[in-house]
Structure 1
Amino acid sequence: MSATSKPIERYLLLYFPWALAAVFSDETIVSYFIAWLGSFFIFYVIYSGWIKPLPNDRPVAEQLMRPIFLVQIIFIGYMACSSIFYFLDLLGVNQAQESKLFFHVDTAKLALAAQCQRYYVLGHAAFATGILVTMKYPIEKKFKVDNSKLANTLMVMAVIFLPVASLALHINGLSQFAGQFNSLSFIAGTLALAFAIPLKKVFNTLFCLFLYFVNFYQALTSGFKEPIIISVLVLGIFLYPSYKKAVTFTFIPALLALFMLLPTYNIVFRSTAWSGNADSEQAYKIALDATLNADNGVIDETTSGFLVYRLSEINMFTTFVQSTPKYIDFYGLELIGQSIEVIVPRIFWPSKPVTELLVMERVYNAGVAYRGSNVSAKPAYIVDGYLSAGNLGIVLALFIYGAAAQLISQKAEQLFGGYILGTALVFTGLFQIFWRGLSFEFLLNSVFWSYITMIILHRILKSRHILEEV
Structure 2
Amino acid sequence: MPAKQFSLERIIVLYIPWMLSILLKNDYELSYLIAWLGSFLIFFLTLTGWVTPLPHDRPVSEQLMRPIFLVQIIFAGYMACTSIFYFMDVLGYDNFEKLGTTLTDHNRMQYTAQCQQYYCLGHAAFVTGILVFMRYPVQSVYYIEKQKLANLLMLFAIISFPVSLIFLKLPGLSQFYYQLNTLSFIAGTLALAFAIPLRKAKNIVICLLFYFFNFYQALVSGFKEPIIISVLVLGIFLYPSFKKLVIVIFIPILLLLFVLLPTYNHAFRQSAWSDDQSAEQASQQAIDATLNAGSNDLDESNWDFLVYRLSEIDMFIRFTQSTPKNIDFYGTTLLTQSGIALIPRVFWPAKPSTEDLIMERVYAAGVINRASTVSAKPAFVVDAYLSAGGYGVFLFLLIYGAVAQLISIKAESLFGGYIFGTALIFSGLFQIMWRGISFEFIINSVFWSYITMLVIHRLLLSTHILKRI
Does the Cα contact within 8 Å between 2:95 and 2:300 map onto a contact in 1?
A: no
Could you say what secondary structure the match of 2:15 adopts?
helix
Separation of aligned partners in 2, 1:124 and 1:248:
27
Q: Deviations over 1:102-136 (max 9, x none)?
A: 31210100010000000000000100110000111
How do 1:31-70 and structure 2 match up within 5 A?
31-70=31-70
Report the equivalent of 1:273: 272
Q: Deviations over 1:211-263 (max 9, x none)?
A: 10111111111111111001100000000000000000110000000000000
Report the equivalent of 1:330: 329
Report the equivalent of 1:153: 152
Report the equivalent of 1:396: 395
Report the equivalent of 1:309: 308
Does residue 99 of structure 2 align to residue 87 of structure 1? no
Separation of aligned partners in 1, 2:350 and 2:437:
24
1:161 maps to a residue whose letter is S
Q: Deviations over 1:349-389 (max 9, x none)?
A: 22221101111111111111122221111111001111111
1:337 maps to a residue whose letter is T
Does the Cα contact within 8 Å between 2:338 and 2:439 map onto a contact in 1?
A: yes
Report the equivalent of 2:109: 110
Deviates more, 1:209-218 or 1:267-276: 267-276
Does the Cα contact within 8 Å between 1:461 and 1:467 map onto a contact in 2?
A: yes
2:47 maps to a residue whose letter is Y
Report the equivalent of 1:287: 286
Deviation at 1:276, TM superposition (A): 4.1
Separation of aligned partners in 2, 1:408 and 1:95:
42
Report the equivalent of 1:376: 375
Report the equivalent of 1:349: 348
1:356 maps to a residue whose letter is E
Does residue 163 of structure 2 align to residue 164 of structure 1? yes
Deviation at 1:3, TM superposition (A): 9.3
Deviates more, 1:39-48 or 1:269-278: 269-278
Does residue 413 of structure 2 align to residue 420 of structure 1? no
Report the equivalent of 2:232: 233
Q: Deviations over 1:292-317 (max 9, x none)?
A: 12111111111111110000000000
Separation of aligned partners in 2, 1:236 and 1:364:
40
2:15 maps to a residue whose letter is Y
Separation of aligned partners in 1, 2:296 and 2:207:
38
Does the Cα contact within 8 Å between 2:140 and 2:413 map onto a contact in 1?
A: yes
How do 1:458-469 and structure 2 match up within 5 A?
458-469=457-468
Report the equivalent of 1:440: 439
Does the Cα contact within 8 Å between 2:4 and 2:132 map onto a contact in 1?
A: no
Could you say what secondary structure the match of 2:231 adopts?
helix
Report the equivalent of 2:27: 27
Separation of aligned partners in 1, 2:43 and 2:366:
34
Separation of aligned partners in 1, 2:277 and 2:327:
44
Separation of aligned partners in 1, 2:6 and 2:100:
54
Deviation at 1:50, TM superposition (A): 1.9
Separation of aligned partners in 2, 1:337 and 1:298:
46
Separation of aligned partners in 2, 1:437 and 1:4:
27
Does the Cα contact within 8 Å between 1:4 and 1:53 map onto a contact in 2?
A: no
Separation of aligned partners in 2, 1:6 and 1:354:
43
Separation of aligned partners in 2, 1:396 and 1:351:
33
Report the equivalent of 2:18: 18
Q: Deviations over 1:124-149 (max 9, x none)?
A: 01001100001110000121000001
TM-score (norm 2): 0.98
Separation of aligned partners in 2, 1:370 and 1:290:
31
Could you say what secondary structure the match of 1:347 adopts?
coil
1:50 maps to a residue whose letter is W
CA RMSD of aligned residues (A): 1.3
Separation of aligned partners in 1, 2:276 and 2:166:
30
2:405 maps to a residue whose letter is Q
Size of the aligned set, in residue pairs, is: 468
Separation of aligned partners in 2, 1:385 and 1:65:
25
Q: Deviations over 1:172-224 (max 9, x none)?
A: 12111111111111111111100010001111111111110111111111111
2:302 maps to a residue whose letter is T
How do 1:97-246 and structure 2 match up within 5 A?
100-246=99-245
Separation of aligned partners in 2, 1:246 and 1:45:
28
Separation of aligned partners in 2, 1:126 and 1:12:
10
Deviation at 1:96, TM superposition (A): 8.4
TM-score (norm 1): 0.98
Separation of aligned partners in 1, 2:181 and 2:345:
22
Report the equivalent of 1:73: 73
Report the equivalent of 2:248: 249
Does the Cα contact within 8 Å between 1:66 and 1:423 map onto a contact in 2?
A: yes
Could you say what secondary structure the match of 2:240 adopts?
coil
